[in-house]
Structure 1
């Protein structure tokens, strides 16, 4: 497996401060947070944000707002149909991780991702779709990084990606990895590099020292290394999307 299944580190973290400025809409029956770039009523490029297990909450909404501020239509769907995790519930021991994962596998998630992609292509006429997959969402980025689906991919500390899913990608992929990560370990990073080199796709893998799994979306930002890592991981995603769009537009 290119990255291990979710573990306790995937279900913990810190809520970030800020006020989301986007809006909630429905795409079919999928509740979706959307942030629009200022001054662009018909954006031609979008970022689909595939979330970690906490789904739509302040941290992921603020990231969507940041993508919009950089000129992208940012779309953050509720992958879990209301069955998202809550940090406080996990800390209180109210979450049965295996049971939750059994309800939220590819049979449930794939159709929701497919519906949002179809909406972007057909209803909004978006020409290029980038995708940022965080932790849990990294698996579904890999599954949909195909011609006619997701054009450009970025993932931070991915979980649950199989060797076969990674080997089957058809478009460029960038990865932000944490030095301390029991899900995307050093051995699995190196194995992923080997798989990516065999795909023939343009790829990038940046390693951030001093941070742990989840640093790009839910780390404790009072710690300078975490704050630096989160900000630089986001800049990595933006630089990757901008470059790939300029080359392959």
Structure 2
């Protein structure tokens, strides 16, 4: 695999401060959090956020809001039908990851991703659709880079991604990696680089020192170096989409 399966680090992190400003709406049978940019900010561009196991919760909503502030129509679908891992369950140590993962397989999640892409492309004026994936969500960004489903992809500290999925991409991909990551390890990062070279697609891999798996979506922002890495990873995504969605 290009990255290992989720481990305990997927369940760690900090709750970020802020008040989400988007709306919960319905896409077919599932809900989505949608943050809209100011009129005329960046016409024609949508970014789909494919989340970690915490789904639609404050940190991921705030990321969507940040994309909207940068001019994108940002769509965060509920990939888990309301069965995301909750902060309360995490705090109470009620999580059985193997059981939870068995309820949310590729056959369960992929149709929601495809429906969200179709929804984004159907919005008035949308010409380009990109996707940003965090942890588990990264797998579905990479899979969507096949067959022209999306036009550009960004992933942070990926999990569950296979070498075959990386090797099959047909659109550009950018990756933010953590120095300390038992899932996207140094060896996995290097092998992914070699695989990306063979795709013929544009790619970027940025490594952030001193941070661990999850830093880009749920890092402890009270730590100066973690805040810097989180903010720079987000800036990486925006710069990548600006570059590739022209």
TM-score of Structure 1 vs Structure 2, range by shorter chain: over 0.9
Runs of 4+ in 1 over 3 A off after TM superposition: 40-43
Partner residue, 1:168 = 168
1:4 aligns to 2:14 (yes or no):
no
**Per the alignment, in what secondary structure is the counterpart of residue 245 of structure 2?**
helix
Partner residue, 1:214 = 214
What is the alpha-carbon distance in structure 1 between the residues aligned to residue 105 and residue 182 of structure 2?
21
Residues 127 and 146 of structure 1: is their aligned pair in 2 closer, same or farther, counting only changes over 3 Å?
farther
Q: In the TM superposition, what is the alpha-carbon distance from 1:148 to its structure 2 partner?
A: 3.2
Q: How do residues 42-61 of structure 1 correspond to structure 2 at under 5 angstroms?
A: 43-61=43-61
Shifted more, 236-245 versus 147-156: the winner is 147-156
**Per the alignment, in what secondary structure is the counterpart of residue 85 of structure 1?**
coil
Aligned residues: 246
Conserved in 2, the CA contact under 8 Å of 1:177 and 1:208?
Answer: yes
Q: In the TM superposition, what is the alpha-carbon distance from 1:90 to its structure 2 partner?
A: 2.2
Conserved in 2, the CA contact under 8 Å of 1:132 and 1:141?
Answer: yes
What is the alpha-carbon distance in structure 2 between the residues aligned to residue 55 and residue 12 of structure 1?
14
Partner residue, 2:153 = 153
1:163-217 per-residue CA deviation (whole Å, 9 max, x = no partner) reads 1111111100000000000000000000000000001110000000010000000
1:23 aligns to 2:43 (yes or no):
no
What is the alpha-carbon distance in structure 1 between the residues aligned to residue 223 and residue 85 of structure 2?
24
**Per the alignment, in what secondary structure is the counterpart of residue 100 of structure 1?**
helix
Q: In the TM superposition, what is the alpha-carbon distance from 1:40 to its structure 2 partner?
A: 3.6
What value does the CA root-mean-square deviation take over the aligned residues?
1.3
Partner residue, 1:106 = 106
Residues 103 and 227 of structure 1: is their aligned pair in 2 closer, same or farther, counting only changes over 3 Å?
same
Shifted more, 175-184 versus 43-52: the winner is 43-52
**Per the alignment, in what secondary structure is the counterpart of residue 33 of structure 1?**
strand
Conserved in 2, the CA contact under 8 Å of 1:12 and 1:91?
Answer: no
Conserved in 2, the CA contact under 8 Å of 1:11 and 1:87?
Answer: no
Q: In the TM superposition, what is the alpha-carbon distance from 1:127 to its structure 2 partner?
A: 1.3
Conserved in 2, the CA contact under 8 Å of 1:36 and 1:74?
Answer: yes
Partner residue, 1:243 = 243
What is the alpha-carbon distance in structure 2 between the residues aligned to residue 26 and residue 169 of structure 1?
29
Conserved in 2, the CA contact under 8 Å of 1:12 and 1:87?
Answer: no
What is the alpha-carbon distance in structure 2 between the residues aligned to residue 96 and residue 139 of structure 1?
21
What is the alpha-carbon distance in structure 2 between the residues aligned to residue 100 and residue 124 of structure 1?
37
What is the alpha-carbon distance in structure 1 between the residues aligned to residue 42 and residue 66 of structure 2?
18
Structure 1 spans left out of the alignment, 5+ residues: none
TM-score, normalisation: structure 2: 0.97
Structure 2 spans left out of the alignment, 5+ residues: none
What is the alpha-carbon distance in structure 1 between the residues aligned to residue 156 and residue 68 of structure 2?
19
TM-score, normalisation: structure 1: 0.96
Partner residue, 1:91 = 91
